[in-house]
Amino acid sequence: MTHRLIVGGSGSGKSHQAKKLTKQLAARGYPTLVLCRGGEEHDWAHAQYVTSSFDEFEKVFWANHGLAVVVDEAMNIFDGETALRAKRMLTEGRHQAHVVHLVAQRAVDQLNATARQQADTAFIFRIAEADAKSLAGQFGIPALAQAHLLPQYHYFAVGPCGYCKLGETTP
Ligand SMILES: Nc1ncnc2c1ncn2[C@@H]1O[C@H](COP(=O)(O)OP(=O)(O)O)[C@@H](O)[C@H]1O
Ligand SMILES: [Mg+2]
């Protein structure tokens, strides 16, 4: 059971990376479930379930086991009336044996502490300098303060025990 964060500015390569990771999982037998913004559904050709409706997404999430789940820039699900339900998916969702990918532009505003603490791996793409500094503090990894200097499609892969390695998404 894995839980991954994908963070970076607009156009940095986050969705591309989420697609790559979920295609790899599809090859290992994980169907893909995506919650995305309205109008972006067609971007997810390989996914079995794609929706911009939180209710629909939640229903499929709990009705299945072993999905590759993506929340692509729909981080406002952690605010307002869906907040508790979204948090429950992050914590108790582990029993569904899903692999969950959370995609967000701004780590600070959009990722609540639960989301961050539950993550096994974070892919940090190019991000605003202030956010890079904040992420360095949140993860306790000083190198992340340089994330604003990353070229497009490049990322820091961050794991447990201070693991941090540079990577690049392939087309
Ligand atoms: N390694 C890559 N090489 C070429 N094009 C890429 C690569 N990674 C992403 N892209 C393309 O760049 C554009 C922006 O990437 P995207 O993943 O949509 O950014 P984000 O989700 O961070 O806004 C997309 O059209 C995507 O297909
Ligand atoms: Mg995107």
Phi, psi for 125 (deg, rounded to 5): -90, -175
Gap between the Cα atoms of 149 and 124, Å rounded: 11
Quote the strand ranges of the chain, DSSP E: 3-7, 32-35, 49-51, 68-72, 99-104, 121-124, 154-158, 164-168
Computed over every residue of the chain, the mean pLDDT equals 90
- Tell me which residue range forms the domain holding 136: 3-168
Q: Is 13 in the pocket of ligand 1 (CB under 6 A)?
A: yes
Point out the ligand 1 atom lying closest to the alpha carbon of residue 72.
21
pLDDT digits (tens, 9 = 90+) for 33-85: 999 999 999 999 999 999 999 999 999 999 999 999 999 987 778 888 898 99
Whose C-alpha lies nearest to ligand 1, atom 6? 171
Nearest Cα to Cα of residue 21 among 39, 8, 2: 2
Decide: pTM greater than 0.75.
Answer: yes
Give the pLDDT band of residue 107 (cuts 50, 70, 90): low
H or E stretch at 27? helix 14-27
Q: Is 16 in the pocket of ligand 1 (CB under 6 A)?
A: yes
**Tell me, what CATH number does 142's domain have?**
3.40.50.300
Which residues hold their Cβ within 5 A of ligand 2, which is an ion? 15
Instruction: Give the number of domains in the chain.
Output: 1
